[in-house]
Amino acid sequence: MKNFIEIGNTEDEQAQQIKKWLRENGPQIIAGIVLGLGGIWGFGAYKAHEYQQSIYARILYLNSDSTAFEQLNESHADSGYLQQAILIQAKIAAKDKKYELALQHLSPLINDENSLIANIATMRMASVQLEMGNFSDAIATLNNTSADEFNGLYSQLKGDIYVASNNINEAKKYYRLALSQISTDSKLQNLISIKLADLN
């Protein structure tokens, strides 16, 4: 880069020198700023990715090591990590068709003070009961909770339960209700509409 201003010039000459200097060096400055910001953003994205990978690794470790899970249960019972680990263990148990074990994991969480955890646990518990063919238990599980932000998801799941139990009129009723409760721009609208159309 060239010198910015030559000393001893008038103000007009100095202004012209500044403009000339910016024309000559502007692209380099802009490129430097872009590269700097890109580096900062890239590093931030990299750190976020590393953090997610470490969380995933910890979860895998907890799933494979019951001692680590027990230690988490004893040492960090009040943290959100324990509830998330329990949800993951329940999901793995359900995937392995160990439904009773999944229900044991989920049962304490449906009354959790964290409403998000409680609602996720409630829906998963009802889904496990559906898989087991315990349709009335699944409906009762969903009826025991009220959460406005989850009503549409609950109604959709009730529709699924009624389809599985061959109660088509109730299934239609709850699919229609779900459509009215879920945001119109949600992708679930299409899925529920397809389910409803299949029943006609």
Q: So what's the pLDDT on residue 55?
A: 62
Q: So what's the pLDDT on residue 29?
A: 78
Domain that holds residue 15: 10-64
Both 121 and 159 in one domain: the answer is yes
Both 59 and 126 in one domain: the answer is no
Rg of the Cα atoms in the chain:
29
Q: In this structure, what CATH number is given to the domain that contains residue 186? A: 1.25.40.10
Q: Is residue 189 part of a domain?
A: yes
Q: Are 135 and 154 in contact (CB under 8 A)?
A: no
Q: So what's the pLDDT on residue 149?
A: 81
Predicted confidence (pLDDT) at residue 102 exceeds the cutoff of 90: yes
Interval 144-159 mean pLDDT: 86
DSSP single-letter state for residue 8: T
Name the least confident of 61-65, 76-80, 177-181: 61-65
Neighbouring C-beta atoms of residue 31, cutoff 10 Å: 10
Instruction: Grade residue 139 by pLDDT with cuts at 50, 70 and 90.
Output: very high
Interval 101-120 mean pLDDT: 90
Residue of 38, 34, 36 lying closest to 46 (CA atoms) = 38
**pLDDT tens column, 158-175:** 999 999 999 999 999 999
Both 94 and 193 in one domain: the answer is yes
Both 185 and 143 in one domain: the answer is yes
